[in-house]
């Protein structure tokens, strides 16, 4: 007769717990995907566009203002260059604000999901 080796109950319980955790994680991802089904690749590209415009607009406004000052009141300093740098800095701060805002929204949503999952 062939003897069947059984795995110890603690190992079997550990394997079952691991399997349960994997199923729960996949289910959580599916539920999150269903909630965000309208956020496609175009949504992500749009977010890149928002960040790009958040930097480009202040930079262009700064250059235009600097060129206007250079034409109106000529001096030895290039106001266009100074306002270019200021525009890039303001735009970068603006882009960082938008990225931080979206990131905090994602983190809050994940925390809400975790709180709803726990009994």
17-71: per-residue pLDDT in tens?
888 999 988 888 888 777 766 667 777 788 788 888 999 999 999 999 999 999 9
| φ, ψ for residue 39, nearest 5 deg | -90, 95
Indicate whether 61 belongs to any domain.
yes
Indicate whether 52 belongs to any domain.
yes
Position 98 scores a pLDDT of: 86
Indicate whether 71 belongs to any domain.
yes
For residues 111 and 32, is the Cβ–Cβ distance under 8 A? no
Question: What is the domain range of residue 88?
Answer: 40-117
| φ, ψ for residue 75, nearest 5 deg | -150, 180
For residues 51 and 27, is the Cβ–Cβ distance under 8 A? no
What is the band of 10 on the pLDDT scale with cuts at 50, 70, 90? confident
Number of folded domains that form the chain:
1
Indicate whether 10 belongs to any domain.
no
Indicate whether 34 belongs to any domain.
no
Among the residues of the chain, which ranges form H helices? Answer: 9-35, 41-72, 79-117
Indicate whether 30 belongs to any domain.
no
- What Cα–Cα distance (Å) separates residue 88 from each residue in 22, 67, 83, 116? 45, 16, 8, 42
What is the band of 8 on the pLDDT scale with cuts at 50, 70, 90? low
Indicate whether 96 belongs to any domain.
yes
What is this structure's pTM? Answer: 0.62
Q: How far apart are CA 69 and CA 72, in angstroms?
A: 5
Better-scored residue on pLDDT, 31 or 118: 31
Quick one: which of 81, 51, 53 has its CA closest to 65?
81
Position 114 scores a pLDDT of: 62
Q: How far apart are CA 101 and CA 111, in angstroms?
A: 15
Indicate whether 13 belongs to any domain.
no
């Amino acid at each position: 007769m062939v003897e069947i080796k059984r795995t110890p109950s603690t190992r079997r319980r550990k394997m079952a717990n691991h399997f349960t955790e994997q199923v729960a994680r996949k289910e959580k991802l599916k539920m999150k995907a269903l909630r965000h089904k309208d956020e496609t690749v175009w949504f992500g590209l749009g977010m890149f566009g928002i960040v790009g415009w958040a930097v480009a607009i202040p930079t262009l406004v700064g250059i235009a203002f600097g060129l206007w000052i250079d034409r109106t009141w000529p001096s030895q300093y290039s106001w266009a260059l100074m306002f270019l740098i200021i525009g890039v800095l303001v735009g970068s701060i603006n882009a960082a604000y938008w990225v931080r805002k979206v990131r905090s929204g994602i983190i809050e949503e994940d925390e809400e999901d975790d709180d709803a999952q726990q009994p």
